[in-house]
């Protein structure tokens, strides 16, 4: 009897979801979806997926003035339009829309506000030397966003269809991309649960949207090496958690430790894990070290393995593939392995630590000068007049060549 009531409740939810209206129009998400029932994954999988052919476009009547390139600040300026696609548990993905950039209208009880049903991506569009627009490995972003969605009970989607829509959106907004090296259009796909409920359970409605921000070089005057505070009292991620997914909930808890590091004169945290103080990530970036192996003297590059606590960075994957292809040909060992802060300190003391750097979409490569650990600064191999090591500079150059179209490469997708 209880199971019958639960199934009837699920049916009621699917019917109720039909009446839901757009968060861009009014705060009226109302689904009475019960949360004690078993997953409705099979039924949801049969619902319509994203259909690019159903796209509607409403252009702004008040286009924004362009800022001088040198005045662009990361994430502060936005383009004229946004792309949005709604989803409900009864209708699946609704027709996509490109509209003027606008506020969302959401009920105060919307589940994203209370239970962090939110995942996002960071990706860029580049204007190449041939004046073409190119995305960099968008399939990786689509895959990761779907993995993030799956982990927090948000709906998955057709990545190729969404990439098609992103391309159409970018063509509309291309005037915001300065025609100069180092500039790009930063894209922020975001997926949120929009059901109006204080009940804890899988949302019966969601919104996938895209906004864009023109950005300049992360280092306008060239590399600037950062200093890190090794942190073990606060933990960014743990086994069985969600550190390998790009969820907003992973970022807010890192702000206070970063502020504490800044008070001590350090730019970012180097996140350590466990009693052995395993090195994981740096700030919001993946982390790499280059050193000479003890005993053999062989040059190696290390980064932490994808064990469920490490974000599967697109730049991380790209660095590893390029390093295996190019540094590997020079005799380097490229390894995804666990290593500890003590190992790094020992390598530095013995003159074997060559360099260290973080990687991510926003910065591509961020060289590291020193790491504060247990009351001492561990030198990361840079000379006083250097801002980047040889490997970091080479990796940055390799990726820039691909992203800006200096070389043809399978990772670039023309818009």
Confidence of residue 39 (pLDDT cuts 50, 70, 90): low
Please give the Cα distance from 331 to 61 (Å, whole number). Answer: 58
Mean pLDDT of 109-124: 98
Structure tokens that stand for 335 in this block = 């390894």
For residue 223, what pLDDT band results from cuts at 50, 70 and 90?
confident
Which residue is associated with the tokens 């609704």? 94
The predicted model gives 219-242 an average pLDDT of: 92
Min mean pLDDT across 26-35, 126-135, 156-165, 349-358 is at: 26-35
As a whole-number percent, the residues of the chain with pLDDT over 90 amount to 85
Summarize pLDDT for 127-158 with one digit per residue, the tens: 998 899 999 999 999 999 999 999 999 999 99
pLDDT digit string (tens) for 156-189?
A: 999 999 999 999 999 999 999 988 889 999 999 9
| 32 confidence band (pLDDT: 50, 70, 90) | very low
Q: Which two tokens stand for residue 254?
A: 């890192």
Confidence at 351, pLDDT banded by 50, 70, 90 = very high
Question: What region, left, alpha or beta, does residue 399 occupy, with left being phi > 0 and alpha being psi -120 to 50 degrees?
Answer: alpha
Contacts 24+ apart (CB under 8 A), 401-407: 402/136, 403/124, 403/126, 403/134, 403/136, 403/184, 404/126, 404/127, 404/128, 404/129, 404/181, 405/126, 405/128, 405/129, 405/130, 405/132, 405/134, 406/129
- Band of the pLDDT at 40, cuts 50, 70, 90? low
pLDDT at 179: 84
Q: Tens of pLDDT along 281-292?
A: 999 999 999 999
Res 31: pLDDT: 44
- Segment 93-114 mean pLDDT: 98
Q: What does the pLDDT look like over 67-101, one tens digit per residue?
A: 999 899 899 999 999 999 999 999 999 999 999 99
pLDDT score for 309: 97
């Amino acid at each position: 009897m209880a199971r019958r009531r639960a199934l009837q409740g699920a049916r009621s939810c699917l019917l109720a979801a039909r009446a839901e209206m757009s968060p861009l129009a009014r705060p009226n998400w109302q689904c009475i979806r019960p949360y004690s029932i078993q997953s409705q994954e099979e039924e949801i999988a049969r619902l319509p997926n994203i259909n690019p052919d159903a796209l509607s476009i409403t252009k702004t009547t008040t286009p924004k003035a362009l800022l001088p390139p040198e005045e662009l600040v990361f994430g502060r300026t936005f383009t004229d339009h946004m792309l949005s696609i709604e989803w409900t548990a009864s209708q699946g993905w609704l027709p996509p829309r490109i509209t003027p950039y606008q506020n969302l209208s959401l009920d105060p009880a919307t589940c994203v506000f209370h239970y962090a049903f939110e995942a996002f991506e960071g990706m860029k569009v580049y204007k190449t030397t041939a004046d073409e627009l190119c995305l960099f490995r968008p399939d990786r972003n689509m895959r990761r966003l779907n993995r993030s969605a799956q982990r927090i009970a948000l709906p998955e989607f057709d990545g190729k269809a969404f990439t098609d829509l992103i391309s159409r959106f970018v063509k509309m907004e291309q005037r915001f991309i300065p025609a100069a090296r180092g500039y790009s259009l930063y894209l922020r796909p975001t997926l949120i649960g929009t059901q109006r409920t204080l009940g804890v359970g899988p949302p019966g409605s969601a919104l996938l949207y895209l906004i864009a921000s023109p950005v300049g070089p992360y280092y306008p005057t060239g590399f600037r090496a950062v200093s890190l505070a090794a942190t073990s009292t606060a933990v960014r991620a743990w086994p069985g958690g969600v550190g390998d997914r790009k969820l907003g909930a992973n970022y807010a808890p890192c702000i206070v430790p970063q502020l504490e590091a800044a008070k001590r004169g350090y730019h970012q945290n180097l996140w350590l894990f466990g009693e052995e103080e395993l090195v994981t990530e740096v700030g919001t970036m993946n982390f790499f070290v280059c050193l000479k192996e003890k005993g053999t003297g062989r040059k190696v590059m290390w980064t932490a393995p994808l064990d469920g606590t490490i974000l599967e960075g697109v730049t991380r994957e790209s660095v590893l593939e390029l390093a295996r292809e190019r540094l590997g040909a020079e005799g380097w060992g490229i390894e995804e392995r666990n290593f500890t802060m003590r190992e790094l300190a020992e390598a530095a003391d013995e003159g074997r630590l060559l360099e260290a750097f973080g990687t991510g979409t926003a910065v591509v490569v961020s060289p590291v000068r020193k790491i504060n650990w247990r009351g001492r600064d561990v030198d990361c191999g840079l000379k006083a007049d250097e801002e980047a090591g040889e490997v970091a500079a080479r990796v940055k150059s390799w990726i820039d060549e691909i992203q800006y179209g200096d070389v043809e490469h399978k990772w670039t997708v023309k818009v």
